[in-house]
């Protein structure tokens, strides 16, 4: 059993987590019991309940990949759009990396990657195949999506810029900027020339040239490093003999304060903001390279992740309750993180097509911890039990596609392979159809944080 004697920082860290208040707008760090490294093995493969009628996340994930009829080939770089089902992409930021269509030696592979489509079970038949125009309308009329996470989340932003093209415009324009800063916000705006403009019912105050439909902010660990260090030591931890004096190592990361998006951006009124959904995602940067000062790296990363995510979900729930008075319906969705695949560029993997079953995860890479982190996130969200904060577990389609990783690494997947597009397609359904139906069936009521926490 892991004890405070084995890790001298852990006891003051956890005690401090109960009492130290981060100096953030309207934020109070919640108390919690002492964190233990012991978790149920069953958490790693959570089993969802069978739905009563609509397509649940578990139903969606229970489908299979099927080869398309008359699958297209890639013979030149421009073919990558059509083979992916796109007419273009509004964003051009790292399009070669994301689309993986700029290397002629891999054109045959690239065509094969987009030759499959995800087929969910029959009770998911009401999930729209062509959801794109409906999503554009909803992003205006119901409110936009705010995506917070690392480069994997940025891939969803890029994918949406392609799926919703030509109805959206991406800013900033990557073709006009040489010194791109990953900390910059990226937006999708409604294209004023889109034919959808004539059928959209615009909210009062909506500005086509200013109000985002989708925004991405880079935040690798969902807090800034100062906030995480505060939760880590509470000002009371001192390194022991031979231990490093800094929590963080040399690995690059991009972060913003949790108050920047939970205390401000998500709740901005029109015309600057009109967000309905906040999508949170993290995983890859919870690694030994960034947290190199932890005395017991594997165990302590998991422990720190649990503490920080508990804080995050508490703050998400509290901020939703504090903003109920403005009358706008909002949702916060915590999506499970993508798991990488060892040796994804081996010939037999790249041309082997989709798998039928999720492979056993035996790896020395950082992604060996991702299923544990996903399970912890799911538990933290369910323990908080706020009806507008939900965990979305839909990673299975991606785990069946080791053939679809980008050419640059074995974590990110190729945009246009159907994996990232599936996240958007199902999330649109989940927000517009499944959640309203589920709440009606369960007669869920919005719960308020007790008054003693209010200011």
Q: Tens of pLDDT along 242-300?
A: 656 688 988 999 999 999 999 999 999 999 999 999 999 999 999 989 998 888 877 88
Query: How many CB atoms are located within 10 Å of the residue 83 CB?
Result: 23
DSSP secondary-structure letter at 104? G
What is the reported pLDDT for 266? 98
Question: Under a CB-based contact definition with an 8 Å cutoff, are residues 238 and 196 in contact?
Answer: no
What is the reported pLDDT for 250? 86
Q: Is the peptide bond before 166 cis (omega within 30 degrees of 0)?
A: yes
Q: Tens of pLDDT along 78-118?
A: 999 999 999 999 999 999 999 999 999 999 999 999 999 99
Beta bridge partners of 66: 117
Lowest-pLDDT range, 173-177, 275-279, 401-405, 425-429?
173-177
Q: What pTM, to 2 d.p., does this model score?
A: 0.86
What's the mean pLDDT in 206-228? Answer: 97
Strands 116-119 and 275-280: unpaired
Class of residue 64 by CB neighbours under 10 A (exposed 0-12, middle 13-18, buried 19+):
middle
Give 396's contacts (C-beta < 8 A, 6+ positions apart).
61, 62, 358
Quote the tokens at residue 17: 């987590």
Helices and strands, number each (H, E), in the chain: 15, 9
DSSP letters along 260-311, please? HHTTTGGGPPTTT--EEEEEE---TTSSTTTSTT-SSHHHHHHHHHHHHHHH
Question: Under a CB-based contact definition with an 8 Å cutoff, are residues 26 and 267 in contact?
Answer: no
* Cα Rg, the chain, nearest whole Å: 22
DSSP letters along 121-166, please? -GGGTTS-SS-HHHHHHHHHHT-EEEEEESHHHHHHHHHHHHHTTT
Spatial distance between the Cα atoms of 404 and 410, rounded to a whole number of angstroms: 9
Question: Under a CB-based contact definition with an 8 Å cutoff, are residues 342 and 363 in contact?
Answer: yes
Spatial distance between the Cα atoms of 88 and 3, rounded to a whole number of angstroms: 55
DSSP secondary-structure letter at 265? G
Q: Which residue's entry shows tokens 């965990």?
A: 391
Give 86's contacts (C-beta < 8 A, 6+ positions apart).
162, 163, 165, 416
């Amino acid at each position: 059993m892991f004890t405070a004697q084995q890790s001298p920082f852990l006891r003051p860290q956890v005690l401090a987590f109960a009492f130290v208040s981060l100096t953030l707008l309207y934020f109070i760090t919640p108390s919690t019991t002492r964190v233990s490294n012991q978790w149920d093995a069953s958490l790693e493969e959570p089993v969802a309940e069978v739905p009563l009628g609509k397509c649940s996340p578990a139903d969606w994930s229970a489908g299979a990949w099927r080869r398309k009829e008359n699958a297209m080939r890639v013979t030149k770089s421009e073919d990558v759009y059509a083979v992916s089902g796109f007419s273009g992409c509004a964003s051009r930021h790292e399009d070669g990396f994301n689309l993986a269509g700029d290397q002629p030696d891999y054109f045959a592979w690239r065509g094969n990657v987009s030759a499959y489509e995800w087929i969910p079970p029959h009770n998911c038949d009401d999930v729209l195949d062509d959801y794109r125009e409906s999503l554009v309308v909803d992003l205006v009329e119901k409110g936009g999506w705010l995506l917070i996470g690392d480069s994997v989340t940025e891939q969803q932003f890029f994918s949406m810029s392609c799926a919703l093209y030509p109805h959206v415009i991406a800013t900033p324009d990557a073709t006009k900027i040489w010194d791109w800063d990953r900390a910059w916000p990226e937006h999708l705006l409604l294209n004023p020339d889109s034919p959808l403009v004539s059928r959209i019912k615009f909210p009062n105050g909506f500005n086509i040239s200013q109000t985002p439909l989708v925004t991405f902010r880079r935040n690798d660990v969902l807090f800034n490093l100062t906030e995480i260090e505060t939760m880590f030591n509470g000002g009371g931890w001192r390194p022991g003999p031979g231990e490093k004096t800094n929590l963080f190592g040399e690995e690059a990361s991009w972060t913003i304060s949790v108050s920047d998006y939970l205390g401000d951006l998500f709740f901005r009124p029109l015309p600057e903001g009109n967000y309905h959904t906040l999508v949170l995602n993290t995983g890859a940067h919870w690694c030994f390279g960034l947290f190199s000062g932890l005395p017991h790296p594997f165990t302590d990363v998991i422990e720190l992740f649990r503490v920080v995510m508990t804080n995050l979900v508490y703050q998400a729930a509290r901020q939703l309750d504090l903003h109920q008075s403005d009358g706008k319906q909002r949702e916060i969705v915590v999506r499970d993180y993508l798991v990488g695949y060892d040796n994804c560029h081996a010939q037999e993997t790249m041309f082997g097509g989709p798998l039928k079953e999720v492979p056993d995860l035996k790896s020395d890479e950082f992604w060996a911890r991702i299923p544990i982190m996903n399970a912890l996130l799911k538990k933290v969200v369910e323990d908080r039990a706020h009806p507008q904060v939900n965990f979305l577990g839909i990673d299975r389609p991606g785990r069946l596609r080791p053939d679809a990783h980008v050419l640059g690494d074995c974590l990110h997947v190729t945009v246009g392979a159907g994996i990232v597009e599936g996240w958007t397609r199902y999330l649109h359904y989940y927000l517009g159809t499944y959640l309203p139906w589920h709440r009606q069936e369960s007669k869920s009521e919005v719960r308020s944080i007790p008054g003693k926490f209010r200011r």
